[in-house]
Structure 1
């Protein structure tokens, strides 16, 4: 950001960054909402898959976690841990759908065999939403800076070697 009068950044530079962050919040939350909707709507037919833990139960859990991540991104999108959580939810869901598409892992302990080598409209929509959500959340994480310390907020320079903060 280029400094303006008084050494403060131009208001337009801050506004652009805010607009980008809000846009990323909306895109990430929408992608997570699609993920949640698809998994919630498909849960009942998959209740019969699995003995100890059904695939339907796993789908409901994914829908709940994706919904929580979407809500957190919308409400607390200025915080890096929220973006990290949204990224992990989206990326892990994408990884799971791709794994279950291309690899017959079999049952893993109490988890059912979820191998399904067919791309249907719901699986495609979910995979696309998860990929978009993962990328948007990663960018959101990258543009959201780490929390500023109290001395930085008060106007002290970052990394001042005289105060031991430099390297």
Structure 2
């Protein structure tokens, strides 16, 4: 389980790093809520999820949260890469049809974290002692 925890947390850490690193460049995108603000929120959620998985990786809720954070980030990057959704309420139009190294690294890390979190969620309940305690 430790290897899975580390792999998932590493994917979330790469995701957080890329989003924090790029946030300033996307601050001008949007009016009510900037894309930079959304990037910072994603990065903070990814950091929290990574710590949660490392600290309480036997808890299925930690894995579920990590899955939601990673899968939502992966879904967003793929959606906005291939579909021009436009603005959604206060959210800016984040359509960006190009791939570049940081975006690719983030997407791969999010995919790894999504898969790791899904496996962790499914297997977390199986690693218990005969007494029922983790």
User: What TM-score do you get using the length of structure 1 for normalisation?
Assistant: 0.76
CA separation in 1, counterparts of 2:127 and 2:62?
A: 13
Number of equivalences: 131
Q: 2:76 aligns with which of 78, 93, 96?
A: 96
For the pair 1:22 / 2:6, whether they are aligned, the reply is no
Larger Rg: 1
- The SS at the match of 1:52 is coil
Segments of 5+ residues of structure 2 without an aligned counterpart are: none
The 8 Å contact of residues 27 and 35 in structure 2, kept in 1 or not, is answered as: yes
For the pair 1:140 / 2:120, whether they are aligned, the reply is yes
- The SS at the match of 2:29 is coil
1:33-87 per-residue CA deviation (whole Å, 9 max, x = no partner) reads: 0000000000001000000000000000000000000000000001000001101
Residue of structure 1 in register with 2:101 after alignment: 121
Segments of 5+ residues of structure 1 without an aligned counterpart are: 1-20, 155-167
For the pair 1:108 / 2:94, whether they are aligned, the reply is no
The 8 Å contact of residues 80 and 146 in structure 1, kept in 2 or not, is answered as: no
- The SS at the match of 2:125 is coil
Residue of structure 2 in register with 1:53 after alignment: 33
Stretches of 4+ aligned residues off by more than 3 angstroms: none
The alpha-carbon distance between structure 1 residues 118 and 132, as it changes in their structure 2 partners (threshold 3 A), is same
CA separation in 2, counterparts of 1:44 and 1:82?
A: 29
